[in-house]
Structure 1
C-alpha cells in the first residue's frame, strides 16, 4: 500500500494550480469538473508512475474556509524532499516562493521552511546520508 493523495484546502483552484505548477515545479496530473463548483485537481512533484503520491487541491466550503492555510495549526504541514536542495531552493526563490528562514543544517537533513500559496508551512529538505 501507499499513501496516494493528501488533501490540501484552497480558496481558488486556478491560483493553487499556478502556485504548485509554476512556483514549485509540480506536474498537473488531472483537473476534472465534478460539479459546477467542484473539481478533482491533483498535482505532484513527479508524474513518472501510476503510484505517485499527489496533492488533491480541494476548494474549501463555508465550514472549512477558516482552515485554509492553517491545516497544521502553527506547525509544518507537509515535507517536500529534494535530491538537490540548493538547486530547488534557488529555483523556488527565483519563482517567488516565501521562505520563513534561512536554510539550516540539521542532524537529519538540510532544511528550510516555506509557505505555500495559501499560507501552510512546508519543509523543503534533503536528508543526509546516514
Structure 2
C-alpha cells in the first residue's frame, strides 16, 4: 500500500532559472541538486517542512519542450497553501509574481491565481478550515 506522494516532476526550460524562482521568489528549499550528466541534473525543491517535493526536469526533447507550462492543460493545477495569505500575497506581488486578479473570498478560503515563469497556473490559498478543508473546493 503506497504511503505518500513523494514528488511531482515539473518540466522547465532551465534548471538554474527554476531553482531561482522556487527558492528566491516562492521561498522553497533546495533539497538536492545533483549533476547526473553534462545535460541532466536531479533537482528537488519543496516548501520548508513539506513532504511532497517537485523534481525539476529540464525539457530535453521537442515533445517535452511543448508541455512546459502546460502540464495542467491551462487549468490551475498547483495549490500553494499559506497560513498568512495577506503577507504572502504582498510578498509575491512585490517580487513580481503575476496574479490574474485580486484575491477573492470563497467558501473554502481566500485565493488568488498566479502564473509561474513557465505559464503554469497556481492558486495561492489560505483554507477557511485548514484541517478539514471542507466546503466547495477549487
Q: TM class by shorter-chain length? A: over 0.9
Which residue, 39, 55, 65 being the options, matches 2:41? 39
TM-score scaled by length of structure 1: 0.93
Report how many residues are paired: 127
Which consecutive residues of structure 1, in runs of 5 or more, have no partner in the other structure?
A: none
Q: Partner residue of 2:58?
A: 59
Higher relative contact order (CA 8 A, sep 6+): 1
Cα pair 1:81 1:125 within 8 Å, conserved: yes
Segments of 4+ in structure 1 off by > 4 A? none
TM-score scaled by length of structure 2: 0.88
1:94 aligns with 2:94: yes
Structure with bigger strand share is 1
Q: Partner residue of 1:110?
A: 110
SS in 1 for 2:73: strand
Which consecutive residues of structure 2, in runs of 5 or more, have no partner in the other structure?
A: none
